[in-house]
Copies of this chain bind each other. A is one copy, B any other.
Amino acid sequence: MSEPVHSPGTDPGAAAAVAGIETVACIGAGVIGGGWVAYFLARGYRVRAWDPAPDAHTKLRRTIDAAWPALTELGLAPGADPDALEMAPTAADAVDGAGFVQESAPEDLDLKRALLAELAAATGDDVVVASSTSGYPMSDMATAAADPSRLVVGHPFNPPYLIPLVEVVGGRDTAPWAVSRAAAFYRHVGKSVIEMDRELPGFIANRLQEAIWREALHMVAQGEATVEQIDLSITDGPGLRWPVHGPCLTFHLAGGEGGMGHMLDHFGPSLKSPWTRLEAPELTGRLRDDMVAGAHASAGGRDMATLVAERDRAIIAVTRAVAAAREAGHA
């Protein structure tokens, strides 16, 4: 499960290959699939959607209409048209002529297996089929496909029309070019892409998010904190730092001038404390050094004073932005 399946990297051929795509097929039009439809329309694509629910078109229209003001505010691509949408009677019809396929069906492994096999069979040799799955490895989902080489995970975050992150990873039988092409396409449409070199249950962000969520459930179950206290502890606490610096860079700053190295050498023993129900790994010399090197890479050449100033500016601006967004709802 943690064997590398693909060496990520920017592939100029992949970038060229995605530039000509004009139509995207969206399979499944619920909260996530509908969000993808709105996003692709805003980026100027024609979208062909399929969803077996009888009221799918009505709901999808509502999703697009609700998202459009935000997308307009962010800036539409030239020619972007909220009506450049066609509902297809079948999944095969939806992907016919599409240059990229985004599958966002319910999280049901058997359903995903059958659907991805159908989509792989109905698409051309150069069309990538990406799944929005929030946790299944493609190696488990691709088992029914005659040709699994073009099946890729392209995992978005809710709402897909606003959160930039997409996690891209192939399965055991995915061709490296398909992973590169999916990553290139998402970058081309303005997404922030993490190209993973190996499959990992929950990918990266969901593993981190799920660790918080499980600790929160334990705390409520044990009467240690209320839901409101948990939410407030994040929104008014570390949550204000995370949009600008991730958890590792945040701890790099906590180390003062000594950065991550000082932090680990100094606060390393707190890893033994029962501060969460998650057991920590042993802080080996190798892990320490990897974290220090990683923090410097994450800092990308910004020195500590620059990072601190950036953090402070961002916290003030984020605090104000959130207050204004809450206030607007009461107006």
Contact = CB atoms under 8 A, between A and B. Distances in A.
A22 interface: no
A162 B236 contact: no
Contacts of A77: none
Contacts of A298: 227-228, 231
A78 to B, nearest CB: 21
A280 B238 contact: no
Main secondary structure of the interface of A (DSSP, over half): helix
A221 B284 contact: yes
Nearest to A73: B316
B220 A204 contact: no
A276 B217 CA distance: 14
Given A239-B242, A278-B214, A329 B302 contact: yes
A134 B254 CA distance: 12
Identical subunits present: 2
A321 B328 CA distance: 17
A267 B107 contact: yes
Contacts of A302: 329
Interface residues of A, number: 122
A74 to B, nearest CB: 6
A271 B215 CA distance: 12
A277 B276 CA distance: 12
A205 B279 contact: no
Given A165-B236, A314-B325, 4 more contacts: A204-B229, A220-B290, A243-B318, A243-B319
Interface of A: 2, 30-31, 66-67, 70, 73-74, 107, 134-135, 157-159, 162-165, 167, 192, 194, 196, 198, 200-249, 251, 253-254, 256, 267, 270-271, 273-284, 287, 290-291, 293-295, 297-298, 302, 306, 308-322, 324-326, 328-329
